[in-house]
Structure 1
Amino acid sequence: MPNSAQALEDLVATARQIGTAVESVIDGKAEAVRLALIVLLAEGHLLIEDVPGVGKTMLAKALARSIDGTVRRIQFTPDLLPSDITGVSAYNQERREFEFKPGPVFANIVVGDEINRASPKTQSAMLECMEERHVTVDGTTYQLEAPFMVIATQNPVEMEGTYPLPEAQRDRFTARISIGYPTASAELEMLDTHGSSSPLDHLKPVATATDVRALIEAVRGVLVAGQVKQYIIALCAATRSAPELRLGASPRAALHLLRAARARAALDGRDYVIPDDIQALAGPVLAHRLLPTAEALVERKLPEQVVTRLIEQTPLPRP
């Protein structure tokens, strides 16, 4: 059974190995690493949003290198074209036929650096592959190999030369995290470890793509009671009627919250989800999808604050 005790023990052990490997590169950010692991096991995609220089790309690369699968990196720039991401059909003169040359999106983990520097047209090239796990080029559909995860980094929209991500694309990211500045002790340790060479050079894979597929299968078997599902729906419905928001959480957001809660429960060694899992993940999973009203922006009411208020006001499910 995928939700057996042995499968959960194997999952926790392998996940800890991946987490330890990533934390050897990213100092003092255990919670961000844990959330990245949750998104990986929930078959989702991760958006890392923060100012330059705090380790966004380093976190993405470290997670990718700790798994022995195919990894491709896309540097998003204003002149990047959709075909540069998905691939292109080129005419082979020897065979006298068109053949498909796959783009960098054909990998187990795709690192999209500064995704909001590309034009909206290019950003939209990621929509199909992120949701449906396949790419259509010139009328032909090509399946992407599992596991498939996009780890995108972006600078805040206020930075010069950036385009805000379309709502449809933000909704496809399972969670958004902000790494933040390290503590003084972590920054001092970083100067010691990163000063002479990059720890990424010494990072070895601790799991294979097959291992990750098995972990994902184990997470799918985690039990979610009917009352907990009702709690997820109640939280998402509350965002749709909140006066501070003009766009609430979509049904896809509820599904992503459910999958992420399963992954968090499995990482804690549980084969069932509890309301604490939902409350802990509601901010990272829901906040980036919500659009505040103009009045809320003036009053500096951030979506994260609205989610926190809704968690306090939404009654917990009864056992």
Structure 2
Amino acid sequence: MKIKVEKITKPKKGNGLWIKESGSDVWFFLPEGQTVIQGKEYQVDVELRRTRENRKYYLVKKIEEVIQAEQKAEEKQNTGQKKKITLKQALGELEKVEKAINKTIIGREEMVRLALITAVSGGNMLMVGGTGIGKTMTAELVASAFSDRVLYNQLNHYKELTNIIGNIDLKKFRETGEVEYRTDRFLNADFHIYDEFFHSKGKLRGALNDYILRRTLTIDDRGVLKGETRAIFLTSNRLEDLQDPKVQAEGGLAIADRIHIVLQVPDPDETVLEKLLTGGGTKEYSFRQPLSSIEVLEKIRQEAEKIPTPKWLVKKIAEFDAALKLKLPEEYRISPRKYITLVEMMKVSAVMDGRNAITLEDARRILPNAVFTLDQDIRKELNDLLKVSTEPIVQFIQKAQKEKDPQKIAQLMVENLGDGANLKDIKQLLNGDGIEALYIRESLPDVEKLIDKIQKKVESITPEDIEKMVEQQVKEIEEDVLNKEIESGLKM
């Protein structure tokens, strides 16, 4: 039924709202967690109830603004008529969203990029850091940029799962397939945001663990509800809470394998503070309406699925995993199931950067941030493992193929490969079976054709031209060193 809200009052005891329908004496009770605006029209599902004084009222089980309900019905009707979005359009939309968020949150570009990768791949991300540095704001902006179905909960305010999802009548659900409004909202939200996750009660945290991993809600040993949540963002002031024996006993460690990205958010540096204090950024926690759509995320995810998992990456993950076993306790290590998701995230990272293959850049962005520790020394050691000697060759070819000026291509060769390097040597490297050759071939599937094209572009460059470029590069390095020495002397 449809109702237009004429009056809103709070009950004398308890939570929720009483709302009066316009043009009648009928009252509706809205449970906690739902809000309405006076004068607006809503589509509601209700159940007739009576007060102790035998006065009739309606309990609102589900409510939705009429405009939104009509829009969704129209979208459902026109699903088959919608024009499919192209990858170019999807990447353009994503870039627009990323720029909008980076204008809002100053100096958090890498955190925003990782949050977007999480949203595309359908993973889980934990952001750890002090109060007021942009953790929750990033999660809310990313989620609200793509959907208006976002569930936010500050978990230290709740004791049990029923405080969030309400009570579920399992018998009624089996007979009709219906659940109450709060349960439906929980299951159908595109994004969940859990603030202060480790400050929540162990019983609640344990109940959420399965949902975070499998997107299923276990009601009892006989009933399981499937959720549609795409990505989950968690925040905490201190990852050290995991060291608390009480938290561990309540299943806190079980979350380690369920979180794909663990990012320590540093306090803002001097440059960021200056921008913030001089008017940079905004106080808006979320976009008032989505800037894009879930279809954009899905298109990029589908494109990422087409990228094969390279053999060099399998070898590197084996090295990474062996080092991890030496550095961390068993409960914090990465499981095969988690590695599968991490590789999917690397593929998404590659597509977002405009590539059709995973490179070391993607591996370094994801793998060290997947380790459930904030020990920066351990993370640096693990990051140092993610190197291959032929990486500069791949970087050179990626840049050179886009460049038209032969002089600039030659300059790129000197900068990336050093004096004396030539394209014939690169071709010879392709014939090996080691990780160095694999890295070139698998990072650049058409590498031989690319090298031939680059060769044609630089045929007019003479050895004398190369020599002049090397001299110029040496001169620039010497000037840079001198300037740093002068700057250092002035500071003293």
- State TM-score, norm by structure 2: 0.54
The alignment partner of 2:156 has SS state of coil
Distance 1:201 1:261 in 2: 27
Q: Deviations over 1:231-262 (max 9, x none)?
A: 2233123312x1x3222322233223211211
**Residues 13 and 306 from structure 1, CA distance in 2 versus in 1: closer, same or farther, beyond 3 angstroms?**
same
Deviates more, 1:208-217 or 1:52-61: 208-217
Q: Deviations over 1:189-237 (max 9, x none)?
A: 3345489x73346654221122222222222222322232232233123
Q: Spell out the pairing of 1:78-89 with structure 2 (5 A cutoff).
A: 79-89=158-168
Partner of 2:212: 130
Q: Deviations over 1:121-165 (max 9, x none)?
A: 21122222222222222433222225x111111011558x99567
The alignment partner of 1:206 has SS state of coil
Partner of 2:377: 305
Partner of 1:149: 231
Q: Spell out the pairing of 1:15-30 with structure 2 (5 A cutoff).
A: 15-30=94-109
One-letter identity of the residue aligned with 1:274:
T
Higher relative CO (Cα under 8 Å, sequence separation at least 6) belongs to 1
Partner of 2:202: 120
Distance 1:206 1:121 in 2: 37
Q: CA deviation at 1:89?
A: 1.1
The match for 1:111 among 182, 193, 196 is: 193
Q: CA deviation at 1:88?
A: 2.6
One-letter identity of the residue aligned with 1:275:
L
| Conservation of the 8 A alpha-carbon contact between 2:91 and 2:300 | no
Partner of 1:171: 257
Distance 1:75 1:228 in 2: 38
| Conservation of the 8 A alpha-carbon contact between 1:67 and 1:205 | yes
Q: Spell out the pairing of 1:129-278 with structure 2 (5 A cutoff).
A: 129-138=211-220, 139-145=222-228, 148-157=230-239, 163=247, 166-193=252-279, 198-200=283-285, 204-240=289-325, 242=326, 244-247=327-330, 248-278=333-363
| Conservation of the 8 A alpha-carbon contact between 2:216 and 2:227 | yes
Partner of 1:54: 133
Deviates more, 1:263-272 or 1:76-85: 76-85
**Residues 149 and 46 from structure 1, CA distance in 2 versus in 1: closer, same or farther, beyond 3 angstroms?**
same
The match for 2:91 among 3, 7, 12 is: 12
| Conservation of the 8 A alpha-carbon contact between 2:194 and 2:234 | yes
Partner of 1:293: none
Distance 1:270 1:260 in 2: 14
Partner of 2:365: 280
Distance 2:272 2:387 in 1: 39
Identity of matched residues, %: 20
One-letter identity of the residue aligned with 2:199:
R
Distance 2:288 2:178 in 1: 36
Partner of 1:45: 124
Q: CA deviation at 1:308?
A: 2.6
The alignment partner of 1:141 has SS state of strand
Distance 1:91 1:306 in 2: 47
The alignment partner of 2:104 has SS state of coil
The unaligned stretches of length 5 or more in structure 2 are 1-84, 389-434, 439-492
Q: CA deviation at 1:181?
A: 1.8
User: Larger radius of gyration, structure 1 or 2?
Assistant: 2
| Conservation of the 8 A alpha-carbon contact between 2:149 and 2:190 | yes
Number of equivalenced pairs: 294
Q: CA deviation at 1:36?
A: 0.8
One-letter identity of the residue aligned with 2:300:
L
Considering fraction of residues, name the structure with more helix. 2
Deviates more, 1:202-211 or 1:107-116: 202-211
